[in-house]
Amino acid sequence: MTQITHHIPDDILDAWRAGALSHPYAVVVAAHLSLCDECRAAVETADMIGGALLDGLEGQALDAGARQRMMDALDTPAPPPVRGSGVFPAPVVAALGGQPPQWRMLGGGIRQQILSADREGALRLLYIPPGRAVPEHGHRGLELTLVLQGSFSDSEGAFLRGDVETAHDSIDHQPVAGPGAPCICLAATDAPLRFHALLPRLLQPIFRI
Amino acid sequence: MDEPVIQALSSQTCDLIAVRDQRDRAAFGRLFDHFAPRLKAMMVKGGLRDGSAEDAVQDVMLAVWHKAAQFDPHRADAAGWIYGIARNRRIDLARRRPLAQPEDLPEIESDAPDPAQILALQQEASHLVAALCRLAPEQAEALRAAYFDDIPHSRISEMTGLPLGTIKSRIRLGLERLRHELRKIAP
């Protein structure tokens, strides 16, 4: 595993733990946690505090039959776990519905698959050939981008597998895919992206990027 | 596992390891007796009615039984691990879509424990409890609210009449203090 240097910011991790993130952001956080032991340990540490508080709670009596119902339920089969596949960790496989990605061409060799797009925001996979730039864009809200394969770099630095870029609406950036394997990344926004060139803007409603 | 390690673990953590390694139903029963009433209190604090709270407790404890193979005493104690499962259950009951979860950790090789790390974690857990006891009452209250009440910060402010900044800084101070306490033991 490569060394992950760009992590989920604390406030976003806290929001994920509280269940307060919209679906697109939550998938990016879960995918990063699947790859990043440091952030997973941060969640576990917070849960240790929760566990200590739980231990200190005054219990409430359960229904008289609750214990027996519980013991009777132990033979029900466990739900099968979702497993990762290739470069896609389990939460991305779940967002793909268990299917391999079905890329759509965006031009210039860039491909994408939209995994969800609704009032909660948009989640998509992007495939960028080595050395190719994603059109320069700013965005209205927060964009979280997780690298799953290859790398990209922009004004904020270099991002490798497992790294997350947290881009607020003030950042105008032009990610360029690194050499070697094509860059595959998972990107979540809470609003459609703004592209600066006229043509991409016209195409925006068609491609929903 | 070595005798000194077993002695340092909480009895709940030992029971959870017995559930994991031997599918020990008696140990699971003891876990249920310890955690189920506390989990019910947590669910009621989180806004569930009595019946739904009991259902949620059953869901959580069944998940404990099913997921026990993933419990790793190097990473968490029983209370923290079970709290994490309960937190997720509580969240999913409130959300339109289940919250995306990280991939399961690989199942544990139970014959290769690292006693030093398990002991360190267990020590951290008991220091954490001690640190919680030393918090100022209003910090402890804010921390409990943050962990159990599932109420956005703005609601806490309405209820207590304190300005939002104060509440946020209290939660932050409480967590900072805990982090500080932990750093002293395990830098």
For residue A118, what is the DSSP state?
E
Percent of chain B with pLDDT over 70: 73
d(CA B1, nearest CA chain A) in Å? 22
pLDDT at B167 over 70: no
B71 touching chain A per CB within 8 A:
no
| Averaged pLDDT score across all residues of chain B | 81
Q: Look at A67-81, A102-116, A126-140, B9-23 and tell me which has the smallest mean pLDDT.
A: A126-140
For residue B69, what is the DSSP state?
G
Q: Please give the residue that has the higher pLDDT: either A170 or A76.
A: A76
- Split at pLDDT 50, 70, 90, the class of A155 is confident
Question: What is the domain partition of chain B in residue ranges?
Answer: 7-98, 128-185
Cα separation, B45 vs B42, whole angstroms:
5
- Quick count: other Cβ atoms within 10 Å of Cβ A21? 26
Alpha-carbon dihedral sign for residues A191, A194, A195, A198 = positive
**Inter-chain residue contact B103 with A18, CB threshold 8 Å:** no
- CA proximity to B82, closest of B59, B101, B111: B59
Q: What is the CATH number of the domain that holds A66?
A: 2.60.120.10
d(CA A136, nearest CA chain B) in Å? 29
ipTM over 0.90: no
- Split at pLDDT 50, 70, 90, the class of A19 is confident
d(CA B186, nearest CA chain A) in Å? 12
Name which of A60, A71, A82 is nearest B25 (Cβ-Cβ).
A71
Give residue A58's domain range: 7-209
Tell me if domain B7-98 and domain B128-185 are identical in fold: no
Angle at A41 between CA A39 and CA A43, to 5 degrees: 75
> Domain for residue A113, yes or no?
yes
Q: Please give the residue that has the higher pLDDT: either B142 or B183.
A: B142
Q: What are phi and psi of A160, to 5 degrees?
A: -115, 180
Write the pLDDT tens digit of every residue in A95-128: 999 999 999 998 889 999 999 988 888 999 999 9
> Domain for residue A2, yes or no?
no
pLDDT at A89 over 70: yes
Write the pLDDT tens digit of every residue in A38-53: 888 888 888 888 898 9
Predicted confidence at residue B169, as pLDDT, reads 59
- CA proximity to B131, closest of A207, A45, A141: A45
User: What are the residues facing A165 on neighbouring strands?
Assistant: A145
- CA proximity to B83, closest of B130, B127, B43: B43
Nearest Cα residue in chain B from A11: B172
Predicted confidence at residue A135, as pLDDT, reads 67
Residues of chain B contacting A45 with CB distance shorter than 8 Å? 182
- Split at pLDDT 50, 70, 90, the class of A181 is very high
pLDDT at A188 over 90: yes
Mapped onto helix, strand or coil, the DSSP state of residue A190 is coil
- Split at pLDDT 50, 70, 90, the class of B94 is confident
pLDDT at B23 over 50: yes
Nearest Cα residue in chain B from A15: B152
| Averaged pLDDT score across all residues of chain A | 86
User: What are the residues facing A111 on neighbouring strands?
Assistant: A105, A127
Q: Please give the residue that has the higher pLDDT: either B125 or A195.
A: B125
Cα separation, A133 vs B151, whole angstroms:
43
Q: Look at A73-82, A104-113, A135-144, B37-46 and tell me which has the smallest mean pLDDT.
A: A135-144
The helix or strand, by DSSP H or E, that contains position A105, with its residue range, turns out to be strand A104-107
Residues of chain B contacting A40 with CB distance shorter than 8 Å? 102
Q: Do the beta carbons of residue B82 and residue A54 sit within 8 Å?
A: yes
**A37-56 and A10-17 helices, crossing angle to 10°:** 50
> Domain for residue A158, yes or no?
yes
Q: Please give the residue that has the higher pLDDT: either A3 or B16.
A: B16
d(CA B14, nearest CA chain A) in Å? 16
Residues of chain B contacting A91 with CB distance shorter than 8 Å? 100-103
Type of residue found at A4: I
Task: Please give the tally of structural domains in chain A.
Answer: 1
> Domain for residue A1, yes or no?
no
* CATH number 3.30.390.50 is the correct assignment for the domain at B128-185: no
Percent of chain A with pLDDT over 90: 56
pLDDT at B51 over 90: yes
Residues of chain A contacting B76 with CB distance shorter than 8 Å? 44, 47-48, 51
Q: Look at B47-51, B72-76, B124-128, B144-148 and tell me which has the smallest mean pLDDT.
A: B124-128
pLDDT at B187 over 50: no
Q: Which CATH number is associated with domain B7-98? A: 1.10.1740.10
Q: How many residues does chain A have?
A: 209
**Inter-chain residue contact B128 with A49, CB threshold 8 Å:** yes
Q: Do the beta carbons of residue B182 and residue B127 sit within 8 Å?
A: yes
- Quick count: other Cβ atoms within 10 Å of Cβ A34? 23
